[in-house]
Amino acid sequence: MTECITIPFLPEFEERMLSGQKIATSRTKKYGNGADLFCAFGHSFQLTKVDKVYLGDVAATFYKQEGFDSQADFMECWRKLHPRRNRYDTVIWLHQFKKVS
């Protein structure tokens, strides 16, 4: 049985998530496991994979899945949200997800 979890998102990500442009979110803590469900902006989403990774790897490889056009754009947003945890060797959690119909 899947668990309903809460993952907060900034309002600026609504359109990107609903259009499928944003299918991943990086966090300083683990919010759930693969198959967990969460709601955001009035819609349901399902985690498909959750991995412990380095921030630099996310910036280099997953910035598009995060909903950004470039590594620099992703890092600019990350630094605003996490001013003290922004080294490329910082260990974080990458949550990948899909919108549930």
Residue 95 burial class via C-beta count within 10 angstroms: exposed 0-12, middle 13-18, buried 19 and up:
buried
Mean pLDDT (whole number) for 72-87: 95
Residue 1 confidence (pLDDT) above 50: no
44: its two tokens: 């349901």
**pLDDT tens profile 34-68:** 899 999 999 999 999 999 999 999 999 999 999 99
Domains identified in the chain and CATH numbers: 4-99 (3.10.400.10)
Q: Is the pTM here over 0.85, yes or no?
A: yes
The fraction of the chain above a pLDDT of 70, given in percent, is: 97
DSSP-assigned letters across all residues of 1-30:
-PPEE-----GGGHHHHHHTS--EEEESS-
